[in-house]
A and B are shown apart, each in its own frame.
Chain A
Amino acid sequence: MLKWVLSAVLAACLAAPAAAQDGPLRLTITDGVIEPLPFAVPGFQAETAGAEQLAADITRLVAQDLANTGLFREIPSSAFISQPASFGAPVAYADWRAINAQALIGGAVAVSGDQLVVKFRLYDVFAGTELGEGLQFAGTTQGWRRMAHKVADAAYSRITGEGGYFDSRVVFVSETGPKDARQKRLAIMDYDGANLQFLTDSAAIVLAPRFSPRGDRVLYTSYESGFPRINVLDVASVGKQQLTTAEGEMAFSPRFSRDGNQVIYSLANGGNTDLYRTDLASGAHTRLTSAPSIETAPSFSPDGSRIVFESDRSGTQQLYIMSANGGDAQRISFGEGRYGTPVWSPRGDLIAFTKQNAGRFHIGVMRTDGSEERLLTASFLDEGPTWSPNGRVLMFMRETQGAGGSSALYSVDISGRNLSAVPVQGAGSDPSWGPLQP
């Protein structure tokens, strides 16, 4: 089994007071058994009149972000022995140690007109010291959720030593209607389902969107021309245009390169599907595979040098890795069943996939050489994993069985823990998780 340790970055605290009892703040996950780290978030203080509601909402969202990871456990305020006197006042560490709060988050909120300022400090209770510097985020009151996510990202990042993922968005396909008359629209939302916006109407089938690495554009397959073609959509303006691909009867399965300057995709010609690459600036097309089999669902390695994709050249869907310029491919999946939709982790260490075996679907991960395969989920139909920006969580779609079947978005962490439904308004499929927002 995978063993990994999330250890706190405590650069400032390594020379910490000898009084620290249990060493630095630390999260350990071993063999899928976790002891969630207990934290306390006293209500953020309202520093201006009228900021009380926002302060309360932001406090709740910070706590929710952290607790929903499954890595942290919130200590209810009813257990608190004391409250901080004010933001930045000396901390009564003994009071927090007594209730076993390992991390303490303090915050303050000030509102002026539609301007919002959120301040944040994180304390390592048992070390008796502040963890990192205080932070301040400024924005508008409408953007309060993003500011709460940024506070939670900072806390997560300081405690685990990894990047956060709360201030991020997901583009997906919003679905309505019965199975045999389904309507699909492109939609975008915060990672937690809030701030849902539609990007297309339902005039044509849209499938499998993919964010650009910076999150400013979205690639997807659309039938609006009557045939499957690739569109590029600008998220800010919602303007879209068809990508000029190499010539083919059908173009689909598009993904951006890691620099956002190229698109790789599948092109079907004469019933044969191969992978192609188009350079967005020059419009030059390169054919990457030339096999009589189906080659689709490509994904770049983080350094852009390799592509993992699926092919049925062996007779069934399996995963292969080749150079980003094409050429020979190495098969990496060898277990029972069929493997599809490989997605390279942003950390580079794992490939997530959909596995179909014995009438069930699974989301799984394996190392890039195909070793250490682990299945994280099982259901009638789980499909299409997408990585959180820090490579710790996967979101995917789960479709239920039968005439009334419908799709929903789920997330699971890469240890297989914390499987949970993403609270999306309505049915959804084909999620693509965007980057952490600037």
Chain B
Amino acid sequence: MEFQLPDFDLRVMMPEIFLFLWALVVITFDLSTKRRSGAAVAYLAMFGLVITGILLAVAGTGAGFGAMFFNDAASIFFKVIFLGAAFMAIGSSFGLLRQKIQHHRGEFFGLILLSTVGMMFLASSNELLSLYIGLELTTIPLFVCAAFFKDNRLSVEAGIKYLIIGAFSSALLLYGLSLLYGLSGTTDLLQMRINIATTHLNFREIGMLPMISVIMLVAGLGFKLALPPFHQWAPDVYEGSPTPIAAFLSVGSKAAGLIAFAKIMINGLQVFYDQVMAPSDWGILVAVIASAAMIWGNVAAIRQANIKRMLAYSSIAQAGYIMIGMVALNELGMAAVSFYMFTYLFANMGAFAVVAIFEDTTGSTQISSYNGLAKTSPFHAASMSVFLLSLAGIPPLAGFFAKYYVFASAIKMAGAADDKSWLYWLVGVGLLTSVFALYYYANIIKTMYFTTDESPYRLSVASPGSAMVLIGLIGVLLFGLYPTPILEFAAGIPEALGVVVP
């Protein structure tokens, strides 16, 4: 038997390799300046992300390492989101450098970069093992980052909680993956798709096993995406973590979970998305979870007094909206999910950037302390309002367009296939809960604007954090009014993920 070396095409992996090395450079730089590097280390990390973005454009699409590493429309799109999230998270961290992170700066930014590398591998992997490794590389650095304020009880709690939940969910996921391997005899997603498709009717006779596998996978990924009932960690972790890390968790980590979900459930298990496959049909299962996310996330957010907890619940609800596109498995669905995630990047990172600046200036994360902010810091208050209205889905902001696209994909699917009419209900839940959502988003706007008091705080406009706010603002406005280029790129994603339109 002739042994064939796989085709090591390093070109497609160039961005990942570069970013990995750059993370080490960032850490070494901090060490070599005897840990007095100051803001330079953050700029260095951001510079690395920009270079990675350029390399990503240069590397283009293609496959490497046999079939294990793919760069297609889906992975490139999500990699851009990861890089953007990391860039904006680091950009919002400058305030921390002055006060809370006096030591281990290199590690802080290095770990963010390493986590980004993990996400990028995840988005490119087409095989269960490397996918799992990518997922672990994504989360493990974030455990450390969440607990970065060693002296702060909440931060340590956040780190430990995230670690335990993360380990638990990884175990569930791994168990699901091993069952999947047992059922299909392969770890390669494309091969798995073929193997399952050829024998998929037999799966009903196997009985419980496919169902258990699907449940484990949905639960494991549900933890990563903070979907109910696996969401309880999110508010505590967001509250305790450094704000830029909470932002990165809510966007980068969520996008990573989404692409992992799409790879396993769509690329591998699309055949299960069918009533014939009941009870292993994951469509209805995910739809129920998504409804729970929208209802519970939006209702619980109303009662929050802490803005980070409120944004945590809001991001739980947003994940619910995103999952509508995921279960509307047609030529629009995944494109809508990707576009949603892209607009969410700007709106949510922007909102967190304002929260970070506010926290650095005032030390508070209470919503009540935003009272009268519009008078002293009009730029930040107005930007925050725009981000919140975008999250609420008010046109002509980008968030509205994303919601529209997601709902459109679901309604199209519901009308096209008779056994998918439950999608109408999902859309109904989504729309009704978006009215609740407006209430708590508007509540913050009310606090900032409607009072006659003047806030005692004045946020600085000339800071890197404010530049991140500006980036978010431009993104939300620009892609709301002219989404076409992004939409056209995203339109290729369902095909890249192998979505078969019924």
The answer to whether A and B assemble together is no
